[in-house]
A and B are shown apart, each in its own frame.
Chain A
Amino acid sequence: MFARVGPVGPLLSPIALAEQGALVEVTGPVGSGATSLLLSLLAPVAKEGPVAYLDVRGAVSPVAAAEAGCSLERLAFVSAPHPDGWAKALAYLLDGVRAVAAEVPRGVPAAALRALAGRARSRSRLVVLAPIGWQLPEGLVSGRLSLSAPRWAGPEEGRGHLDQRLVSVRLEGKLTRGGVIEGGLRPPSLALIPQAGQEGRRLQVVGAQ
């Protein structure tokens, strides 16, 4: 067991994950930064080719996407609020683009999700799924990122403005080879920040080459 002090590097390398073909789930209550994280995961892959954000709520902000580093010329906003259309749209996207960040509506059957997962792996695509108000079935994704406890710096009693956020993140699943990675994130950066009390936990960087 050992501890490292200071940022240990990126939490995930989306490019490496796209090359292998991976599915990652992002969960967390609204306000914990899930949408920003979806956009941050798309940004590096958007530098190399077309990517897409599959939207269910109709609320994602292109300005936030640009701030997260996504090239708006390469980012398509696809909107599919109903489960049937959503599954077909994602299947088409997996044929066409290298990475998709998708909000997942309630009511997509588990079999459809598994078929989409297989397609993503066989075509070497990165798919980041954010189920809205429910949880994906077990065994579908290779990694689950859980966000919690957002803490904002910036505003005071009326002065200042929202500036930076620190979110607690927990990554587990096949990607971590059985271990658990915990730490902090300051979106839109993907650099993992060890938090107080992390000494003694096994830390490893996932997906980097």
Chain B
Amino acid sequence: MCVLVPDWPLEVARRAALLPPEGPAAVWYQGFVVAASPEARLEGVRVGQKRREAEALCPVMVMMESDPGAETAAFESVAVAVESLVPRLEIAEPGLAWVSAAGALRYYGGAQATAAAVYEAARAGAPTVRVGLARGPFAARQAALNAPGHPPVLVLEAATEAGFLAPLPVTVLDDPFLAASLRRVGIHTLGDLAALPRPAVVARFGGAGVRAHRLAHGDDRLPAPRVPSEDLSAEMAFEPPLTDTEAAAFAARSLAAQLATGLESQGLSAFAVEVSGQTGGGPAPIGRGELSPPDPPRHLRRTWRALDPLDERGLSDRARWQVAAWADAGLLPEGLALLRLAPLDVSGTGRQLSLLSDAAADADAARAYTRIQALLGPDAVRRAVLQGGRGPDDRHRFIRHGEPDPGPPAERPLDAPWPGGLPAPAPALVLPRPQPVEVDWAGGAPRTLAGEEVESWAGPWRRREAWWDDARARDLEWWQLVTATGARLVARSSDGWTVCAIYD
């Protein structure tokens, strides 16, 4: 089941009188529009557009930056209301939440009754809420968006789901590149896509296509959470309980850092996190000689689910917003005694809710690299950065995966000229230890290299190494020698001839 309040950030801003109650208005976050009023949408403003684009479409529109903390706090009452009916709500963002309704259906007497009950409960906190119920989260969201009439509640049974999804355009898949590709070959609706055989979709569109095909059939599911093998949750107890928002924010940040480190050490990323807190028990009031027992501490928890893996910043933000939301709702009268962040879904199947994105691909790669480093050592996975230099082995530096780039040694800027250096192309194989080799020289030219005839040659490129250090200084000459088997970079020094690199 999907509980959706369209343009929630806008609603919150209007309630706080930060935006006028009528007229074109929009809310943006990190440069993109996240909510727009109906008048603004008439002018062509859409969620996901760049802020500048929206401003150009509707110059008279009032725009405001989103405040996720306030939006979370305002949504909290809606979330609590829904959770009182159906437990384990998962928030994707303030204004959008999913919950698995399977258990509740029988309790409330059927899908229609459950959805109607949830709608009534949520309506108190958010009059414009919409509810959709289907077998999978994508279809449920589409149902919520397109529920006709009043109340805006739509239940899709197994029989009617296909018919409902079919006429929807492929743009609802939230993947503009894939949508454009699909339209180019004449596939304009989800029905068209669902009608194609899956092997054909794989062959033509790859992984993104498979995911879209599954969504078009309504075959996605809220992933069953895969709990990590050891307990990676991070928690902190506070004695006395925290009452200051700054301190709570600091605690959230350090717990997020701890959790993120723990996840990375296992090569995992979290797609959902449970923020749980415990309120301080009230002090025993002393009066009239009677001692009342202290209020028992209350446990609060909320699950946040993200479409992309949660990094440290993502974990810290959600923890902060949630604690602030609890405080705003008056749920922490005696302060926060315990805060805990637990990773709930560390599986890659968290991505069933979204299509292939760069963040997900990079997360997959990062997970693979971390696993390899755990197996073979930190030097087993490295990336390279170019730097200024002359020889085959000093124009780059390696950085271990997961570590920051220390930057070039001060004396090696990439953009400075490096006269006397070897010209392109660079040899593809640079031997880690130069190998001694026999070069026969006759008549001022090299004639054989390791017994093979030298067909052509160029050089020398001279270099004096470590001239400032009398003990280590030596002269070096590089020569390019071509034989029937290929070209090699050969060095001559006082130690003799060695092969430094092979142009493979």
User: Which residues of the other chain, A, contact B207 by a CB distance below 8 angstroms?
Assistant: 124
What CA separation (Å) do A113 and B263 show in the bound complex?
31
CB–CB A49/B358 < 8 A: yes
User: How far is the CB of A6 from the nearest CB of chain B, in Å?
Assistant: 24
Question: Given A34-B504, A79-B379, A96-B367, do A65 and B384 touch, yes or no (CB 8 Å)?
Answer: yes
User: How far is the CB of A23 from the nearest CB of chain B, in Å?
Assistant: 17
Among candidates A19, A57, A157, residue contacting B457 with C-beta atoms closer than 8 Å:
A157
CB–CB A95/B364 < 8 A: yes
Within 8 A of A (CB), among B6-62: none
Q: Taking the complex as formed, is A127 at the interface, i.e. its CB lies under 8 A from any CB of chain B? A: no
12 contacts between A and B (CB under 8 A): A19-B204, A30-B504, A33-B428, A50-B362, A61-B396, A67-B426, A76-B369, A76-B382, A80-B380, A154-B458, A155-B480, A162-B425
Binds B, one of A85-93, A134-142, A172-180: A85-93
CB–CB A152/B456 < 8 A: yes
- For the complex with contacts A29-B485, A79-B380, A88-B372, 16 further pairs of A-B residues with Cβ separation under 8 Å are A19-B203, A30-B504, A36-B504, A59-B502, A61-B501, A64-B428, A75-B384, A78-B372, A85-B380, A89-B372, A96-B364, A96-B365, A124-B207, A152-B482, A154-B456, A161-B422
What CA separation (Å) do A92 and B366 show in the bound complex?
10
Q: Taking the complex as formed, is B442 at the interface, i.e. its CB lies under 8 A from any CB of chain A? A: no
Please tell me the number of chain B residues within 8 Å of chain A, measured between CB atoms: 57
CB–CB B371/A92 < 8 A: yes
CB–CB B365/A32 < 8 A: no
User: Which residues of the other chain, B, contact A31 by a CB distance below 8 angstroms?
Assistant: 485-488, 502-504
Q: Taking the complex as formed, is A112 at the interface, i.e. its CB lies under 8 A from any CB of chain B? A: no
What CA separation (Å) do A80 and B115 show in the bound complex?
55
Binds A, one of B220-228, B287-295, B302-310, B429-437: B429-437
Chain A interface, >50% SS class:
mixed
User: How far is the CB of B179 from the nearest CB of chain A, in Å?
Assistant: 18
Within 8 A of B (CB), among A54-68: 57-67
Minimum-distance CB pairs A-B, first 3: A31-B486, A96-B368, A62-B384
User: How far is the CB of B491 from the nearest CB of chain A, in Å?
Assistant: 15
Chain B interface, >50% SS class:
mixed
Q: Taking the complex as formed, is A200 at the interface, i.e. its CB lies under 8 A from any CB of chain B? A: no
Residues of A within 8 A of B (CB): 19-20, 29-36, 39, 49-50, 52, 57-67, 72-73, 75-80, 85, 88-89, 92-93, 95-98, 124, 150, 152, 154-163, 165
CB–CB B425/A76 < 8 A: no
User: Which residues of the other chain, A, contact B423 by a CB distance below 8 angstroms?
Assistant: 161-162
User: How far is the CB of A178 from the nearest CB of chain B, in Å?
Assistant: 20
Q: Taking the complex as formed, is B381 at the interface, i.e. its CB lies under 8 A from any CB of chain A? A: yes
Within 8 A of A (CB), among B49-96: none
Among candidates A32, A50, A156, A161, residue contacting B486 with C-beta atoms closer than 8 Å:
A32
What CA separation (Å) do A52 and B482 show in the bound complex?
30
Among candidates A64, A92, A98, A157, residue contacting B427 with C-beta atoms closer than 8 Å:
A64
Q: Taking the complex as formed, is B375 at the interface, i.e. its CB lies under 8 A from any CB of chain A? A: yes
CB–CB B428/A58 < 8 A: no
Among candidates A57, A66, A76, A156, residue contacting B429 with C-beta atoms closer than 8 Å:
A57
CB–CB B429/A61 < 8 A: yes
User: Which residues of the other chain, B, contact A160 by a CB distance below 8 angstroms?
Assistant: 458
User: How far is the CB of B11 from the nearest CB of chain A, in Å?
Assistant: 38
CB–CB A93/B372 < 8 A: yes
User: Which residues of the other chain, B, contact A155 by a CB distance below 8 angstroms?
Assistant: 456-458, 480, 482
User: Which residues of the other chain, A, contact B127 by a CB distance below 8 angstroms?
Assistant: none
Within 8 A of A (CB), among B363-413: 364-369, 371-372, 375-376, 379-386, 392, 395-396, 398, 401
Q: Taking the complex as formed, is B420 at the interface, i.e. its CB lies under 8 A from any CB of chain A? A: no
Among candidates A35, A59, A95, A96, residue contacting B431 with C-beta atoms closer than 8 Å:
A59
User: Which residues of the other chain, A, contact B361 by a CB distance below 8 angstroms?
Assistant: 49-50, 98
User: Which residues of the other chain, B, contact A49 by a CB distance below 8 angstroms?
Assistant: 358, 361-362, 365
User: Which residues of the other chain, A, contact B380 by a CB distance below 8 angstroms?
Assistant: 78-80, 85, 89
What CA separation (Å) do A73 and B405 show in the bound complex?
12
User: How far is the CB of A105 from the nearest CB of chain B, in Å?
Assistant: 13
What CA separation (Å) do A77 and B380 show in the bound complex?
8
CB–CB A20/B428 < 8 A: no
Which of A32, A64, A67 has most chain B Cβ within 10 Å?
A64
What CA separation (Å) do A159 and B423 show in the bound complex?
13
User: Which residues of the other chain, A, contact B376 by a CB distance below 8 angstroms?
Assistant: 79-80, 85, 89
Q: Which residue of A lies closest to B207 (CB)?
A: A124
CB–CB B427/A61 < 8 A: yes
CB–CB B432/A59 < 8 A: yes
User: How far is the CB of B345 from the nearest CB of chain A, in Å?
Assistant: 18
Which of A62, A72, A154 has most chain B Cβ within 10 Å?
A62
CB–CB B206/A72 < 8 A: no
User: How far is the CB of B45 from the nearest CB of chain A, in Å?
Assistant: 31
User: How far is the CB of A35 from the nearest CB of chain B, in Å?
Assistant: 4
CB–CB B401/A76 < 8 A: yes
